[in-house]
Structure 1
Amino acid sequence: MKTLKAVVPKMLGFFVLLMVITGLIYPLVVTGISKVFFNDKANGSIIEIDGKKYGSALLAQEFTSDDYLWGRIMNLDTETYTNDKGETLVYSWASNKSPAGEELEGMIAERVEKIKAANPQRDGEAIPVDLVTSSGSGLDPHISPAAAEYQVPRIAESRGISEEELRQVIVKYTDGKFLGIFGEKRVNVLEVNLALDGILK
């Protein structure tokens, strides 16, 4: 029967081998494959035009001007945290507000009034739910085609373009269902707004 003294070196050797494989070799191989075959996604799907970075296609940005498509409510904390240079860090999280709670009800009511005031052309029409609620992450970059369509008259009027021209831009940056059957169609807010500004072609 082998003694513990004889077994320990083999156990340590096996541990080190596994650590090298799972902690070094495997991550390097996966990262290398990602860089070669999915370079854009591996680097955060950053939208970069002529050397200037405008943001990630996977993260929302807040737009409040009448010239732009508005996204979902964002759960951001811009006051609590700073880095060692004194720069503000932005954090996002799920709101964790109860659907039966007064706080969420109040937040939605406030957002409804804001949406109505910004889109008087849609007076009396139902507001798409994703325009008055946040996503689980608080940073969803997409809205539904219905939410985009709701804003078409406002943006077209503000920019002095036709509604049909605006709809063509929205359609161009609308993603279909995954594999054609899973999920729902979704509009990337940042991409549409960059296209409206002539940055994305």
Structure 2
Amino acid sequence: MDNMKISREKSNSSVFFSVKNMTTIAMMTAVICVLGPFSVPIGRVPISLLPLAVFLAVYIIGTVRGTIAYSIYLLLGLVGAPVFGGGSGGPSVVFGPTGGYLVSFIFMALLSGFFIHRFYKNVVIQGIGMFLGILLAYGCGTIWFMILMKCNLKVALTQCVFPFIPFDIVKVIVGIIVGRSVRRRLIAANVIED
């Protein structure tokens, strides 16, 4: 009985680490690296395409693989690759005032991905789940910002949350439309599994 369990576990891990899965993770990491640096500065925190890239990753290749792709992106930026907003990179960005948002996108990916794939046929619930992911990122990132900048909640929300809500709603909508379309095409082409 134990041999069968071990055999199944080896089989599951070999499927996860298949060339196909590793390739899709690498390709989605590349997409995140391309979209991540695009930003429009409007204060301490720039408007970024990064949340959209995270939504696309978890929508297209799944929650776990999408989160891994984002985590690889974060590690690339941490070691100095210029993949963050405005082409920046390095530990000073990750551990700086806005680094909490970068780190919290891991949790945003997990929460959003859960809603995307658990409620695949209901785009309204997907959108709500994705926006809940953004709220989670806002919460974690804003607390981080308040601690490092030694500011109060009102200042942090004014600089880091309120200006971004309309843009993030648009990112949720675009993420659903584009993610759904690309995922269907990749499944039809047998690039990813349903």
TM-score with structure 2 setting the length: 0.29
Greater share of residues in helix = 2
